[in-house]
Structure 1
Amino acid sequence: MISLEREGAVGQISLHRPPANAYNQQFALELDEAVEGVRADDGVQAVVLTSTLPRFFSAGADVKFFQASTLPQKEKFILHMHEVLRKIELTPKVFIAAINGHCLGGGMEIALACDLRFAAAGAYGLGQPEISLGILPGNGGTQRLPRLVGKGRALDLMITGRTVPPDEALSIGLVDRIFPAEELLAKTREYADALTKRATLAVGLIKLATTRGLELPLDGGLAYEREALFRVFASEDAAEGVNAFLAKRAPVFKGR
């Protein structure tokens, strides 16, 4: 259901559970394994998360699984997905969701846990339609969506179940870039590859300082930023960056 590949310093996690990447316990286990794989691989410095299916990024959690499972099984499943998506957020490597089709419910929540969302142009929807099932977004949607697009817009999407096309998603900040469908994966990988040429220690700490800072009062966020900056000051990359700047040459960063 989930594959992990690496090309250079870019890891690619691909979702593959036809027909719509609706996910169940096994899907969650394999996604967890893939995320742990890129976390543990020092050679991977950026990650693309995408789908192999032509019309769906992910339709979210498998409704048939919810119908057949007990309440304790549902609770265990949701807790596990919370943990997996939190790992994505707290890994000091940039995760980019390459959204190539319908991105709904729990699928949207996977994308929300990523740092950036690049979308294919096309006629498909993104959103949190759980209300149509009489439930609410339970894999982080009620928390991450308002942090991304604001409370009012997030509430509108969640309480109406309305989905938005890619161009509207871009206009409200739900996705960050749109590319022609046939170019989406290549452009996303190109962006990710460019990140791996930068000072990746600093890139990772920028991600963590931003993520953690949004969860803290301002003073706490500033304290986290200082700690990250002091760590970077002591790095080989910082010395290389300063020396290269003064010598008027291109820096060669090593991620340490």
Structure 2
Amino acid sequence: MDTDHVVPPLLTVEHAGAVATVTLRNPPLNILTSELKDLITTTFLDLSADEGVRAVVLTGGGDRAFSAGANLKEFPERIRLGNAYEVSKQGHRVSEAVRRCRCPVVAAVDGLALGGGLELALFADLRIAARRSTFALPEVRRGVFPGTSGSQLLPRIVGAAQAKRLMMFGDPIDADEALRIGLVDLVVDDGTATTQAQKWGGTLAERPAVAVRLIKRLVDTGATAPLEVGLEYESQLFARAFDTADAAEGAAAFLERREPDFRHE
């Protein structure tokens, strides 16, 4: 084989126990090409179906960016072809695959998270940022706005006013400001975001998997449902959690003053 002509993968998946690490590998800025978006979608669908995976870390390769989003050079061609609707729907497919992954997803941002790259981080359940990270939704400066779930997810995460500020001005914010407004959950030293995300993933993978999955489903559903509907759903899932082997093990371990040995069922 002529190794000089081997095309490196745009995305890799590494497994460490029950934690899978998905790494974007489109240097130098991990631009979200159409091919990479489809790869993210299929990868998360596969991981969600893998019973051996109980947590996923999503990160960007290299030391410059989680992802700088879409390639702006493609915009004139999109306008000419009139296919912006399908571009948005392709992004929605990525969003759905990541958000509906059966197990929790932790995004590790080290560097730039711009436009579609920031939207991709929003799809995760939790976000960790290196201190040098920069976040921005600059689409308004090009006459458009975040169109791959960002306009709907961001207000649910940081509130309507902060979401409007980020999208209407398009100005960048640093990691500390992202933490202040609730865009990220933790800020760590440069170069350590992925390692910390993997630690979180390891802890999540040790928690009883059924309970973790039900928490994720309940919170995501309740965020958009009327309170009465959410409370009824809570009761249903609470009963389901109590009817698991891990619930019985958790109670027994408490009474016996020992650490539980969860079977994730």
User: Which interval holds the TM-score relative to the shorter structure?
Assistant: over 0.9
Question: 1:75: how far off?
Answer: 2.1
Structure 2 counterparts to residues 174-253 of structure 1, below 5 A: 174-253=183-262
- SS of residue matched to 2:83: helix
2:49 partner letter: A
Identify the residue that residue 182 of structure 2 maps to in structure 1.
173
- SS of residue matched to 1:42: coil
For residue 57 of structure 2, the aligned residue among 48, 53, 73 is 48
Q: For 1:201 and 1:66, how far apart are their aligned partners in 2?
A: 43
Residues 1:110 and 2:114 are matched in the alignment = no
Question: 1:54: how far off?
Answer: 0.9
Identify the residue that residue 164 of structure 2 maps to in structure 1.
155
Question: 1:142: how far off?
Answer: 1.0
Question: 1:35: how far off?
Answer: 0.7
1:92 partner letter: R
Number of residue equivalences: 255
- SS of residue matched to 2:248: helix
Question: Any conservation in 2 of the 1:104–1:128 contact (CA below 8 Å)?
Answer: yes
- SS of residue matched to 2:191: helix
Identify the residue that residue 5 of structure 2 maps to in structure 1.
none
Q: For 1:72 and 1:7, how far apart are their aligned partners in 2?
A: 43
Q: For 2:95 and 2:48, how far apart are their aligned partners in 1?
A: 13
Question: 1:169: how far off?
Answer: 0.6
Q: For 1:210 and 1:11, how far apart are their aligned partners in 2?
A: 23
Question: Any conservation in 1 of the 2:54–2:103 contact (CA below 8 Å)?
Answer: yes
Question: 1:41: how far off?
Answer: 1.0
Question: 1:210: how far off?
Answer: 0.3
Q: For 1:169 and 1:157, how far apart are their aligned partners in 2?
A: 11
- SS of residue matched to 2:53: coil
Question: 1:37: how far off?
Answer: 2.0
Structure 2 counterparts to residues 14-163 of structure 1, below 5 A: 14-69=23-78, 71=81, 73-122=83-132, 124-163=133-172
Question: 1:72: how far off?
Answer: 5.2
Q: For 1:208 and 1:59, how far apart are their aligned partners in 2?
A: 29
1:159 partner letter: M
Question: Any conservation in 1 of the 2:158–2:181 contact (CA below 8 Å)?
Answer: yes
1:17 partner letter: N
CA RMSD after TM alignment: 1.3
Q: For 1:9 and 1:45, how far apart are their aligned partners in 2?
A: 5
Q: For 2:256 and 2:110, how far apart are their aligned partners in 1?
A: 44
Q: For 1:8 and 1:51, how far apart are their aligned partners in 2?
A: 21
TM value normalised by structure 2? 0.92
2:87 partner letter: F
Q: For 1:206 and 1:72, how far apart are their aligned partners in 2?
A: 40
Deviation per CA, 1:183-215, whole angstroms, max 9, x where unpaired? Answer: 222111111101111111101110110011101
- SS of residue matched to 2:148: coil
Identify the residue that residue 13 of structure 2 maps to in structure 1.
4
Q: For 2:34 and 2:192, how far apart are their aligned partners in 1?
A: 32
Q: For 2:38 and 2:76, how far apart are their aligned partners in 1?
A: 20
Q: Which moves more between the two structures, 138-147 or 80-89?
A: 80-89
Question: 1:224: how far off?
Answer: 1.7
Q: For 2:45 and 2:75, how far apart are their aligned partners in 1?
A: 26
- SS of residue matched to 2:166: helix
